[in-house]
Amino acid sequence: MPLEISEPVRHAIPNDDPRRHLTVAKPETGDGLAHVSVAGGTYTILVRGKDTAGKYCLIDMLVPPGGGPPLHRHDFEEMFTLLEGEAEFTFRGETVIVKAGETVNVPASAPHHFVNHSNEQMRMLCLCAPAGQDEFFLNVGDLVESRTSPPPKLSDEEKKERGRRAVRLSAEYKTELL
């Protein structure tokens, strides 16, 4: 016998917030997007935390062969979907190879890092929840012209300064470099 409902079911969903807007990111044209060089790669911030009321951010990452961040951990969830290439993810000391079309979720607080394991540029989407990593990258890296722009040529001293900046800002962005 089918369930009969005489009154509509109401849920405790907040009212729509008209101050928030639809976000459409166009990485190929770069319209209104920030492109930042971080750790030798080029990261395009597709959706910023300010677009999602801080709930998450979405980053399009181009990582050169052998590129990737050092071992680190942070108190937010991080999910990667590989679009092109192959990555070697190390999670709590164990390594796994991830290929294009596969997705990896890194739980908050877990030590991890990745390396572009292929001989070609790797492309992946990175979703961080809650947001904040977008602002960290913008404050640590160097703005570049487009999604496919190469990183700027930095002197050894400039590279060291970027590293010092990352260490200095890491606590503010709830990240620990290991």
List the pLDDT tens digit at each of the 178 positions of the chain.
666 667 767 778 899 999 999 999 998 887 789 999 998 899 999 999 999 999 999 999 999 999 999 999 999 999 999 999 999 999 999 999 999 999 999 999 999 999 998 899 999 999 999 999 999 999 999 999 999 998 999 999 999 999 999 999 999 999 999 9
Give the whole-angstrom CA distance, residue 57 versus residue 98.
22
Which letter, b or e, does each residue of 36-70 get, where b requires 16 or more Cβ atoms within 10 Å of its Cβ?
bbbbbbbbbbbbbbebbeeebbbbbbbbbeebbbe
State how far the alpha carbon of 42 is from the alpha carbons of 62, 83, 115, 138, 145, in Å.
Answer: 5, 15, 14, 11, 10
Q: Is the N-terminal amide bond of 130 cis, ω within 30° of 0?
A: yes
Phi first, then psi: give them for residue 165, nearest 5 degrees.
-65, -45
Quick one: pLDDT at residue 25? 92
Quick one: pLDDT at residue 7? 72
Which letter, b or e, does each residue of 14-33 get, where b requires 16 or more Cβ atoms within 10 Å of its Cβ?
eeeeeeeeeeebebeebeeb
Quick one: pLDDT at residue 130? 97
Quick one: pLDDT at residue 122? 96
Amino acid at 12: A
Quick one: pLDDT at residue 40? 86
Quick one: pLDDT at residue 28? 83
Quick one: pLDDT at residue 3? 64
Quick one: pLDDT at residue 31? 79
Q: What tokens were used for 70?
A: 């050092």
Give the whole-angstrom CA distance, residue 86 versus residue 54.
30
- Nearest to residue 125, comparing CAs of 65, 66, 176, 63? 63
Give the whole-angstrom CA distance, residue 46 versus residue 56.
11
- What domains sit in the chain, N to C, each tagged with a CATH number? 35-144+167-177 (2.60.120.10)
pTM of the model: 0.89
